[in-house]
Amino acid sequence: MNHTDQDTPAAQCNGPLAGVRILDMATVVAAPFASTLCADMGAEVVKLELPDGTDPLRGLAPVKGKLPLYWKVTNRGKRGITLDVRKPEGRALLLKMLPQFDVLVENFRTGTLDRWGLDAETLRAANPRLTILRLTGFGQTGPYAGRAGFARVFEAMSGFTNLAGDPSGSPMHMNYPMGDMVAGLFGAFSIAAAVADSRRAHAQGNEARGREIDLSATEALFRLLEPLAVEYEQLGQVRKRAGNRATYTAPSNMYATADGHWVSLVASSDPIFRRLCHAIGEPAMADDPRYASNPARVLHLDALDAVVKAWFAAHDYEAVAQALGAHEIPFSKIFTIVDILEDPHFQARGAVVRLPDPDLGSIPAPCMVPRFSGHAPPAPRSGPAVGEHNAAFYAELGLAPADLETLRELQVV
């Protein structure tokens, strides 16, 4: 695809995935986040949505007036086109454009594209090299394959939510769709793996073949909970919620200071625990047999936590921070977004970048992660408006302005 530098998101000028072309026809958060991460790494991503702009992400908070702030940051670095692939003309256009792409990203319920006449065989006939990322709640097979799902459903079913909350209360969801973001991370990893596979085949003189990636968001979350199955099988233990306390290492908890700040502290290794004992004025605890090793400390969590909690409660945050810092104890005050924006380390690292935006001038967003040597592009532009790049994109595909106007009248684009 050849288009002007003005239309090219800045992040796509170089990077580890430079030259990879992705067509993102997914909705909401998880799968679009996967392609955005690839765009951060240099891939060229075209965002395809319905002509009426009804992607739910455009209405998901935060929204400022009619400006979809969530959309702007989650779909950064992408060109935006519209196309209704459910209509015959739209289906034909999609198949015509597929040879220009390496990856197709979709997150419709299992079987949806098949019903629209866009089954894997049809897509692969249009482009044998095409990798298709199918990100769904429960995967392409199994009794739940056709179910709808959202982040909280994935989190609940994977066992993730069962670990969050106070033991005397209900399990708890966090106020953010973490399940979607984890699935998006696995999606980006999957695309990068498929690209590496394709490039390896090419280097060996073989014809690259497309892959079909079956990514279950529920399985992605469960994959993070690595020791739970063996813990249950071998020890008969079902890990449950424990508030802010970790039950696998100690001390590791959240404590309140005298002036009302919450601090997360981890001192699980023996050397760090010994330093902590000196920091809180209890050096004898380091030689107490109850606390001599991490397994011993876990067995005596209540007694240990009571001592640490009392020390925090007797000191203001500044005194706590000074004592813990002087003894090199891993800790952090619980940051809000305000703390993040004002923190000198985040500022020095450029952890927050400004995305150029046609409506707001620029908007803040997290930086590109991770950082590759030799890849330091300007911040990408914010997510595109509905059909913003239709004229340029479809001209590159060979459509005359009159043809595009006809398709617009038919609500195909």
Active site residues: 180
Q: Which amino acid is at 278?
A: H
CB–CB of 191/34 below 8 Å? yes
Q: CA nearest 160: which of 228, 96, 97?
A: 228
Per-residue exposure over 237-269, b if at least 16 CB sit within 10 Å of its own CB, e if not:
eeeebbeebebebbbbbebebeeebebebbbbe
Q: CA nearest 36: which of 60, 57, 52?
A: 57
Q: Which amino acid is at 55?
A: D
182 burial via Cβ count (<10 Å: 0-12, 13-18, 19+)? buried
Locate 294 and state its tokens: 């991490």
318 burial via Cβ count (<10 Å: 0-12, 13-18, 19+)? exposed
Cα–Cα separations (whole angstroms), residue 40 to 43, 75, 333, 368, 375: 7, 11, 30, 6, 10
